[in-house]
Amino acid sequence: MLSKQELLYEGKAKKVYRTDDPKYYWIEFKDDATAFDGAKKGKITGKGEVNARLSALLFPRLAVQGIPTHFVELLSPREMLVRELKIVPVEVVVRNIAAGSLSQRLGIAEGTPLKRPVLEFYYKSDDLHDPMINEYHIAALELASEEDLALMKNYALKINEYLIKFLQPANLVLVDFKLEFGHHEGKLMLGDEISPDTCRFWDARSGEKLDKDRFRRDLGGVEAAYQEVLRRVEALV
Ligand code: TMP
């Protein structure tokens, strides 16, 4: 049994602790919420637990689909043991329906289905506010090898296909989501979390937003939406 050691890093939504084994990290999911690059700050009570539990439910299912992940086990409702990853500084966004920054940038009404999934890449840099980049930037700046980029694209599309189908019986529409990858002992794996913080989930019947957009846009009912997503997904399994 590994024990929690000193705090290594505190991010906007998670704390990462060392363990007595350098191969594993202990993550605590916080209720703190930020949006617009940290400009908006708040708290979503129960979010840490929802995000940890939802991620703990989804990661092993993705592993079964052939997607290696950093997840090892849920240690408490909001704490997770994960493999240590050397993070690839590229965030991968997958979109099925126009929303958020894509709608703004391209002038496409929110809710417009895209004819095929759209992949986007963002350079993970707080100083630069995560600018959007393309595959040429990734290669030229050596942010990821060609092999890893191909794997990240392949995994991202597979995860999308799997999650769309998995969430369907819960009446949850997967609008878009963000993924992060890293290397553990040289192997590329999915990291971070899969949650209403990192995905857009819409109710299939009403179109109601059940994700962090309720916080970003001050729509109210934020906590209830997070609980609702977890409740629906837990009812599936
Ligand atoms: P966007 O429309 O704001 O670009 O967001 C696309 C998806 O990525 C959406 O599901 C939310 C997620 N996302 C994050 O997880 N972290 C971020 O910092 C941003 C900007 C988006």
- How does pLDDT run across 62-110, given as a tens digit for each residue? 999 999 999 999 999 999 999 999 999 999 999 999 999 999 999 999 9
Are residues 40 and 31 in contact, defined by beta-carbon separation less than 8 angstroms?
no
Distance 21 CA to ligand 1 centre (A): 32
Mean pLDDT for all residues in the chain: 98
Residue nearest to atom 2 of ligand 1 (CA): 100
Distance from the alpha carbon of residue 14 to the mean position of ligand 1, in angstroms: 17
Q: Let me know if residue 55 belongs to a domain.
A: yes
CA nearest ligand 1 atom 15, residue: 198
The helices-and-strands tally (H runs, E runs) of the chain is 6, 15
CATH number at residue 26: 3.30.200.20
93 & 50 share domain: no
140 plus 217 within the same structural domain: yes
Please identify, by atom number, the ligand 1 atom nearest to the C-alpha of residue 102.
Answer: 2
Segment 100-127 shows an average pLDDT of: 98
Pair 122, 91: CB distance under 8 Å: yes
- Binned at pLDDT 50, 70 and 90, residue 171 comes out as very high
Mean pLDDT score, 25-40? 97
* Closest residue CA from atom 16 of ligand 1: 198
Residue among 92, 176, 194 to mutate when testing ligand 1 (max atoms within 8 A of CB): 176
Residue 1 pLDDT greater than 90, yes or no = no
Contact between residue 225 and residue 214 where contact means Cβ atoms under 8 Å apart: yes
Pocket of ligand 1 (CB under 6 A): 93, 99-102, 176-178, 198-200
Q: Distance, CA 35 to ligand 1 centroid (Å)?
A: 9
Share of the chain above pLDDT 90, in %: 100
Q: Whose CA is nearest to atom 7 of ligand 1?
A: 177
Q: Are both 131 and 95 inside the same structural domain?
A: yes
**Residue 110: domain span:** 86-221
Alpha carbon distance 175, 117 (integer Å)? 10
- pLDDT, average across residues 148-171: 98
Q: What average pLDDT does the segment 40-65 reach?
A: 98
Does 32 share its domain with 129? no
pLDDT of residue 114: 98
Q: Are residues 23 and 113 in the same domain?
A: no
Among 91, 163, 178, 229, which residue has the most ligand 1 atoms within 8 Å of its CB, making it the best to mutate? 178
Lowest mean pLDDT of 1-5, 64-68, 193-197, name the range.
1-5
Measured CA distances, 132 to 11, 101, 129, 155, 203 (Å): 21, 11, 9, 20, 28
pLDDT at 38: 92
Residues 197 and 92 in one domain: yes
Please tell me whether residues 60 and 95 are part of one structural domain: no
